Structure 1
């Protein structure tokens, strides 16, 4: 609420020229001024808007935090999957090596016969 203050200074001298009291006195009068309906509605609307904005900001921050934690989880899953892919690639490279294939062929009783190997040459595209 708004408060208006009035100061009223008493005359320092009387009609006979003497001071009533040394230092003089000041009288303070307070008057309480009421708010109008429109002002009250504006203040209530302002408080409501501030509250809604605060809730919206907090909910957006919470959503951003949740999304950031999901991103972190997905990135860790990606790192784990990339590690597994690297291990499988290494295993495929080992299993497809010439020495291992030659060894498995020997275990199965197969022999290398150079007579069965045919060499194909490309002509004209070099």
Structure 2
């Protein structure tokens, strides 16, 4: 019985069938390439496009932020320069408006201080 089962398990091969059995190892060594479906390809392409758009958006946002930061830095330096000029001009105004300088200029122009000729005027509407 065991021999009969063994013979049944082994198929009868004819000389013509050997060429078919010889070709089977070739097909066994070939790897089956699994293709992707159309919907999967669309999903992958959409994902790739979304990643690209997100990267471009992030890079453009960073570039815009960098430009704004450099503009802010330039404006702050201009403000510092203008504040320095304002301080210098305030110092000059304080010097030019000093009583001693005015009295000196009046003396150079031939004006004399006459206390009897000074009148105090009050502003209208002052309570």
TM-score, scaled to structure 2: 0.70
Greater share of strand:
1
SS at match of 1:110: coil
Alpha-carbon offset, residue 120 of structure 1? 6.0
SS at match of 2:113: coil
1:62-81 per-position Cα deviation (integer Å, ceiling 9, x unaligned):
01001000000000000000
* Structure 1 CA distance for aligned equivalents of residues 103 and 93 of structure 2: 16
Match of 1:5? none
* Structure 1 CA distance for aligned equivalents of residues 45 and 62 of structure 2: 26
Alpha-carbon offset, residue 31 of structure 1? 3.5
List alignment gaps of at least 5 residues for structure 2.
1-5, 7-27
Aligned length: 99
| Deviation >3 Å, runs of 4+ | 27-31
Match of 1:56? 57
Tell me, yes or no, if structure 1 residue 115 matches structure 2 residue 105. no
1:18-73 per-position Cα deviation (integer Å, ceiling 9, x unaligned):
xxxxxxxxx99953321110000100010010001001100110010010000000
List alignment gaps of at least 5 residues for structure 1.
1-14, 16-26
Greater share of helix:
2
**Greater C-alpha radius of gyration:** 2
TM-score, scaled to structure 1: 0.70
Alpha-carbon offset, residue 114 of structure 1? 1.0
